[in-house]
């Protein structure tokens, strides 16, 4: 799972830039200049993807390769990966809790897209779901 989606930036007739994501139509934002628009794009993308999961839908695959690449913050990407992997696993929250040695309430918090979780428990959950985290560091744009 990679959490990099391409954004389309277009000049807004009222000023600034409008940002949309062809693969995530729910993510729309605006910025006074290009830099502000791209900074807002990351937050809009994260909010839209969390909303998609809260509605019980699967995350859209990033298939568009034209535009500006926007990567989620690492915390958001790992959280979404846990939720998506759990959904695909077909196991219960109780079973996830058992596999990671936590209470069911702790497992529920790990699966809540709006609850901040530490990397360690998220990594444990991914491992219990048969996934692992691989970190790539790139030059800043």
Cα dihedral angle (80, 45, 5, 141), rounded to 10 degrees? -110
Three-state DSSP at 20 gives strand
- For 6-35, letters b (16+ CB in 10 Å) and e give bbebeeeeeebbbbbbbebeebebbbeeee
Instruction: Decide: 29 and 48 in contact? Cβ < 8 Å.
Output: no
pLDDT digits (tens, 9 = 90+) for 90-132: 999 999 999 999 999 999 999 998 899 999 999 999 999 999 9
Average pLDDT, the chain: 93
Sheet of strand 4-11: strand arrangement: 28-31, 17-20, 4-11, 68-71
Closest-CA residue to 5 (of 14, 32, 56, 52) = 52
Q: How far apart are CA 110 and CA 64, in angstroms?
A: 30
pLDDT digits (tens, 9 = 90+) for 61-84: 999 899 999 999 899 999 999 999
Domain boundaries, given as residue ranges, for the chain: 4-71, 74-128
The β-bridge partners of 4 are 71
CATH class held by domain 4-71: alpha beta
**Residue 141: which pLDDT band, with cuts at 50, 70 and 90?**
low
């Amino acid at each position: 799972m990679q959490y990099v989606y391409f954004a389309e930036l277009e000049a807004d007739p009222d000023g600034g830039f409008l940002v949309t994501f062809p693969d995530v139509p729910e993510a729309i934002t605006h910025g006074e200049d290009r830099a502000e628009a791209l900074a807002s794009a990351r937050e809009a993308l994260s909010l839209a993807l969390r909303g998609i999961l809260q509605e019980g839908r699967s995350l859209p695959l990033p298939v568009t390769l034209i535009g500006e690449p926007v990567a989620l913050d690492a915390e958001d990407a790992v959280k979404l990966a846990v939720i998506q992997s759990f959904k695909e696993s077909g196991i219960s929250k109780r079973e996830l809790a058992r596999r990671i040695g936590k209470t069911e309430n702790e497992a529920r918090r790990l699966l809540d897209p709006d609850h901040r979780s530490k990397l360690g428990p998220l990594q444990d959950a991914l491992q219990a779901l048969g996934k692992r985290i691989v970190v790539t560091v790139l030059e800043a744009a």
